[in-house]
Amino acid sequence: MATKTKTLASSVSSPARSSAVLMRWMRPLLGRASFTLFILMILTTYLSPFGYMMTTAFKNREMITQPDAPLWPAQEASYMHEGEAYPLYQVPAGDGQTHEWALFKKGREESLFIDPENPAAGPIQWEGRWRTLERMWTFSPQWGNFSQVWLEIRMPLLLFNTFVIAVVGAIGTLLSCTAVAYGFSRFRIPGKPLFFTLLISTIILPQFVTLVPTYALFQRIGWVGTWLPLTVPHFFANAYNVFLLRQFFMTIPRDLDEAAMIDGASPLRTLISIILPQSKAAIIAVGLFHFVFAWNDYFGPLVYLSTARDLQPIALGIQDYNALFSFEPQLIQASSLLGLIVPVAIFFMAQRFFMGGLVITGVEK
């Protein structure tokens, strides 16, 4: 009797144990699924303006103003019959199937349709309200928006100006920041901790605090209206890139420096032959960071190049174009998309250097 009772208890508790095991297995899966869904929601919210820009750039005014038009660039599908275009609709027929018919004659409760696959059969009478039918659309991107913007915005000139400003500034940033970071990471300088602290403290200094005296200085020496205020200051280093490179240089063993010194290498030779070859990831990351910053910079060119239209970069040119064509949203979005192509292409081609630059301070070699 006791054996039967134990067997019955085991059979009763077995489903409970199976349910507990299933819950333990499902709990981590549900947690990961919830986290993934949360991230997707954030990405969707963050990328929704980019999606709007992508779709609107390929539309025309008619596509934008139609209230029932789809989100993607599309125009009404139509069928030519006897030299006249008739819109296509999805029409449920009496045979239980839905057909793509052209609306030949509109009516309140009855309308006439034409079957594009059998136009010889003549108009087909359909009972119902045609406004309730789903309209057919065809994918029709308007590539002419980009050619129009390319000519009206003077895109070749804007691209040339932006490349010059970005490349020259990136060269100055790499030269100056590498030299300063090398000095802070390798040489014994009296008061070095204090100087380094002062340098890092400039990161929290707002740009607007120094705007007026800086502009007054550049105005007095005749640099306003030229590229010099946007390029020359980058040859004097900046705290963020110096800190990034210094942290990376400090991970390189000093034994290599001492070996080069024994072989008779000077500090400059050590930098060129020992430090830089092992710091390619950091150097490229700094260059890319500055290039993207210069490409997207709007405030600096607005202050110093507002009176020199032929020297303006793409950020300022697109903004001026948007102000002139605010009633043409498809042209505004097309110009913005053209200005975004280069940074996006650089990001995807050099993505590992971007990611490496973000974690350089935590890398141990």
Task: Please enumerate in sequence order all residues whose Cβ is within 8 A of that of 262, keeping only pairs 6 or more positions apart, or say none.
Answer: none
pLDDT at 221: 93
SS3 305: coil
Q: For 350, phi and psi rounded to 5 degrees? A: -120, 35
Tell me how far apart the alpha carbons of residues 65 and 116 are, in angstroms, rounded to a whole number.
Answer: 28
- Give 204's DSSP letter: G
What is the largest distance, in Å, between two alpha-carbon atoms of the chain?
107
Work out the number of other CB atoms within 10 angstroms of the CB of residue 55. 19
pLDDT at 220: 94
Tell me how far apart the alpha carbons of residues 275 and 250 are, in angstroms, rounded to a whole number.
Answer: 10
pLDDT at 215: 92
Terminus-to-terminus CA distance in the chain, angstroms? 71
pLDDT at 234: 93
pLDDT at 301: 92
pLDDT at 63: 83
pLDDT digit of tens for each residue in the chain (365 aa)? 444 444 444 444 566 666 666 666 667 777 778 878 888 888 888 888 888 888 888 988 888 888 778 888 888 888 887 778 888 888 888 777 888 888 888 888 888 888 888 887 788 888 888 888 888 888 888 898 898 889 888 889 999 999 999 999 999 999 999 999 999 998 888 888 899 999 888 888 888 888 899 999 999 999 999 999 999 999 998 999 999 899 889 888 888 888 888 888 888 898 988 898 888 888 988 998 899 899 989 999 999 998 888 999 999 988 888 888 778 888 888 888 888 888 888 878 777 665 655 555 444 44
The single residue listed with the structure tokens 């996006």 is 344
pLDDT at 23: 66
pLDDT at 100: 86
Task: Please enumerate in sequence order all residues whose Cβ is within 8 A of that of 200, keeping only pairs 6 or more positions apart, or say none.
Answer: 239, 243
Domains and CATH numbers, the chain: 78-135 (2.30.30), 153-362 (1.10.3720.10)
pLDDT at 5: 47
Q: For 117, phi and psi rounded to 5 degrees? A: -80, -15
Radius of gyration over every alpha carbon of the chain, rounded to an integer in angstroms: 33
The single residue listed with the structure tokens 């309209």 is 135
Report the length, in residues, of the chain. Answer: 365
Amino acid 81 reads H
74, 138 in Cβ contact below 8 A?
A: yes
- Distance, CA of 33 to chain centre: 26
Which tokens in the block code for residue 175? 């030269």
Which tokens in the block code for residue 221? 């020496």
Q: For 258, phi and psi rounded to 5 degrees? A: -65, -35
SS3 209: helix
Amino acid 47 reads L
Query: Nearest-CA neighbor of 351 among 261, 284, 264, 268?
Result: 284
Task: Please enumerate in sequence order all residues whose Cβ is within 8 A of that of 37, keeping only pairs 6 or more positions apart, or say none.
Answer: none
Amino acid 38 reads F
What Cα–Cα distance (Å) separates residue 266 from each residue in 48, 95, 190, 260, 353? 54, 91, 21, 8, 30
Tell me how far apart the alpha carbons of residues 224 and 230 are, in angstroms, rounded to a whole number.
Answer: 10
Predicted structure pTM score = 0.76
pLDDT at 25: 66
Tell me how far apart the alpha carbons of residues 360 and 135 are, in angstroms, rounded to a whole number.
Answer: 55
